Amino acid sequence: MQEVKKPKKPLIFYYTLALAILLVFNLLAMPYISARQVKEVDYGSFMTMTQEQNIGQVEVLDNQIVFTDKAEENIYKTGRMDDPQLVERLYNSGAEFASEIVEETSPLLTILLYWILPLVLFIALGQFMSKKLMDKASGGPNSMMFNMGKSNAKVYVRSSDGIRFSDVAGVDEAKENLAEIVDYLHNPDKYRQIGASMPKGVLLVGPPGTGKTMLAKAVAGEANVPFFSMSGSEFVEMFVGMGASKVRDLFKQAKEKAPCIVFIDEIDAIGKKRDGQLGSNDEREQTLNQLLTEMDGFEGNSGVIILAATNRPESLDPALTRPGRFDRRVPVELPDLKGREEILKVHARKVKIADDVDFGRVARMASGASGAELANIVNEAALRAVRDGRGFATQADLEESIEVVIAGYQKKNAILTDKEKRIVAYHEIGHALVAARQTNSAPVQKITIVPRTSGALGYTMQVEEGDHYLMSREEIENKIATFTGGRAAEEVAFGSVTTGASNDIEQATKLARAMISRYGMSEDFDMVAMETVTNQYLGGDTSLACSAETQSKIDQQVIALVKKQHEKALGILRENREKLDELAGFLYEKETITGEEFMNILNR
């Protein structure tokens, strides 16, 4: 879509334009008008016409004679000569003596009519236009501070190269939901007739980079209506009241352009719960109030649809989500396997790519990646191809790009010491071996032990577990055991431990804690929730809701649970000590091992 710049032509432009039009008008039109009215002929012609009795009306003036032909079609004039028989001859020719055949206009009136009047008209027009522009720029007549209350929303107009639904892949449910809005914008009467009104606001919720902004643009693109886009944080300004004024201005613009889509990104920046605490942000609250007022202020069928995106739906003020405001919520989740494949294909259309690329395989390897990350993976692959001087990207480019996007670039100058490299190899194999022995299947796609710019010393590409919505207690326990497997391998092989397991420890603890406090998988607490998730899409923070006494009990149980799994992992590795050494040796040597190679060695 194209962004439209507001017209910012200076005043002088309009005046010059007016003057130019005026001059052209006078030059072209004036002689034409006069020429049509009176034809000047010589006295001879006049005499001939008199003799031929071809004179209709005649008027003899002081210094000229004005006359018409018999049919009174044309008016002629000629200079007056000293001609004593003039009147007699005219009388004989049957001419009719008349007065004021041509209405004589005074020169003053001519000037007034042809020069001053248009000038006045054009100046008035110029003034009117400039006033309109000033109003627009200052956000209405009652905004006193120059430009500060202006909404500065990005406005996109309809255009054929806008984003369409086909550009957004893997979010079919969301698309289906929004298709109704598109249909409404195309054909509002269908809905009005039956008395149905569209929701005024639709909230798109989901993790970052899943295509919420894209979806909003696609709705505008499909419906072929203007698209106003603004981020929630742009409303919040230094000065109290400015945000509210921006909201007002945005809605004023939108109503003028209806039907249209207004998109507010990161709405949580203004829509946070108003908690009434001391020192809470006054400006934000006023902005939110103004938004609520505006949403109540227009009719459901006015054709303005407000889309908003957030990744913290739980932090929104309930007033914002109640019916009549953002009463529809469209989840935009991370893509599943099929979705990832589709997204990769959509983005691969934009780059040159080898014909034999297996997108399904790449999608499987990029488990957990968001749409934005997948877009980035395709782009990285293309960049890699350019770096290698090739004309198209290959499967290998894509696979390497997954690691680049998720784990960062390879750190060229961070050389692990020999001892470190050996420890990392054992650690990573430890995870994989524990996982493989528990499930009897390939636990990983690939392990590499090349340091990455993100700080990771090794990178394990997990296998896609399939879409699966329930986890049994055993599965979670196995997962915890797998997390502890890295550290356990260090202990088994070297008898000492390193800091390399800090992330594993965090993850294992989180899982164990959730089992006890949220999933009701402990003996003592039965089905009582001790914690609630407060931040579903951003890391999943939780807040405790129990007594201090219970808390310490939870802590004890978490410790016991993790300890048990750690023991289990140690047991598995001790039993498979030979395989551990062999696999770690292979990884140390080659720096990379695929799931296939791993299983081959394990099952030898």
Q: Which of 207, 205, 309, 200 is nearest to 259 (CA)?
A: 200
As a whole number of angstroms, the distance between CA 501 and CA 488 comes to 10
Asked if 490 touches Zn ion (CB under 5 A), the answer is: no
Round to whole Å and give the CA distance between 426 and 584: 5
Residue 264 CB, shortest distance to ligand ADP, in Å, is 12
| Count of helices and strands (H, E) across the chain | 23, 17
Q: Does 168 bind ligand ADP (CB under 6 A)?
A: yes
- Closest approach of Cβ 211 to ligand ADP, in Å? 3
Q: What would you measure as the largest C-alpha separation in the chain, in angstroms?
A: 145
Q: Which stretch binds ligand ADP (CB under 6 A): 79-87, 368-376, 389-397, 487-495?
A: 368-376
Residue among 166 and 187 whose Cβ is closer to ligand ADP? 166
Q: Which of residues 270-329 bind Zn ion (CB under 5 A)?
A: none
The least CB distance from residue 437 to ligand ADP, in Å, is 37
**DSSP-based three-state secondary structure for 542:** strand
- Selection from ligand ADP, Zn ion, none that 486 binds (CB < 5 to 8 A by kind) is Zn ion
d(CA 108, CA 450): 94
> Which two structure tokens, joined as six digits, stand for 17?
């334009």
| Other C-beta atoms lying within 10 Å of the C-beta of residue 371 | 29
Considering only residues 427 to 456 of the shown chain, the ones binding Zn ion according to CB under 5 A are none
Closer of 133 and 372 to ligand ADP (Cβ): 372
Q: Where are the alpha helices (DSSP H) in 236-370?
A: 242-257, 268-271, 282-297, 318-321, 337-348, 359-365
283 close to 241: Cβ distance less than 8 angstroms: yes
Q: Which stretch binds ligand ADP (CB under 6 A): 164-172, 354-362, 409-417, 436-444?
A: 164-172
User: How would you classify residue 357: left for phi > 0, otherwise alpha for psi between -120 and 50, otherwise beta?
Assistant: beta
DSSP string, 265-299: ESTHHHHB-----TT--HHHHHHHHHHHHHHHHS-
Among 270, 346, 406, 447, binds ligand ADP (CB under 6 A): 346
Output the smallest distance, CB 271 to ligand ADP, in A: 16
* Separation CA 393–CA 387 (nearest Å): 11
Query: Which one of 162, 221, 313, 371 is in contact with ligand ADP (CB under 6 A)?
Result: 371
Inter-CA distances, 348 with 253, 344, 391, 438, Å: 37, 6, 14, 37
Nearer to ligand ADP, 348 or 435 (CB): 348
Q: Is beta strand 227-231 parallel, antiparallel or unpaired with respect to 531-533?
A: unpaired
**Contact between 485 and Zn ion per CB under 5 A:** no
Compute the distance between CA of residue 441 and CA of residue 424 in angstroms, rounded to an integer: 23
Question: Which one of Zn ion, ligand ADP, none is in contact with 214 (Cβ closer than 5 to 8 A by kind)?
Answer: ligand ADP
Closest CB 409 distance from Zn ion, rounded Å: 21
Spell out the alpha helix ranges (H) of 55-150: 86-92, 107-111, 117-137
Name the segment binding Zn ion (CB under 5 A); options: 25-33, 239-247, 448-456, 503-511. Answer: 503-511
- CB-nearer residue toward ligand ADP: 316 or 375: 375
Partner interacting with residue 369 (select from Zn ion, ligand ADP, none; CB below 5-8 Å by kind): none
Q: What is the set of active-site residues?
A: 428
Q: Give residue number: closest CB to Zn ion.
A: 486
Stretch of 101-109, 125-133, 166-174, 479-487 contacting ligand ADP, by CB under 6 A: 166-174
504 contributes a contact to Zn ion by CB under 5 A: yes
Contact with Zn ion (CB under 5 A): which of 170, 232, 486, 595?
A: 486
372 binds ligand ADP (CB under 6 A): yes
In the bound state with ligand ADP, the residue whose beta carbon lies nearer, of 221 and 371, is: 371
Footprint of ligand ADP on 180-239 (CB under 6 A): 208-214
442: left (phi over 0), alpha (psi -120 to 50) or beta: beta
Contact range with ligand ADP by CB under 6 A, out of 13-21, 370-378, 452-460, 481-489: 370-378
What is the size of the binding site for ligand ADP (CB under 6 A)? 17
CB of 444 to Zn ion, least distance (A): 12
Q: Return the range that interacts with Zn ion (CB under 5 A); candidates 30-38, 58-66, 189-197, 500-508.
A: 500-508
Strands 154-157 and 2-3, sheet pairing? antiparallel
> Toward ligand ADP, which CB reaches closer, 22 or 372?
372
Site of interaction with Zn ion (CB under 5 A): 486, 504
Site of interaction with ligand ADP (CB under 6 A): 168-171, 208-214, 309, 343, 346, 371-372, 375
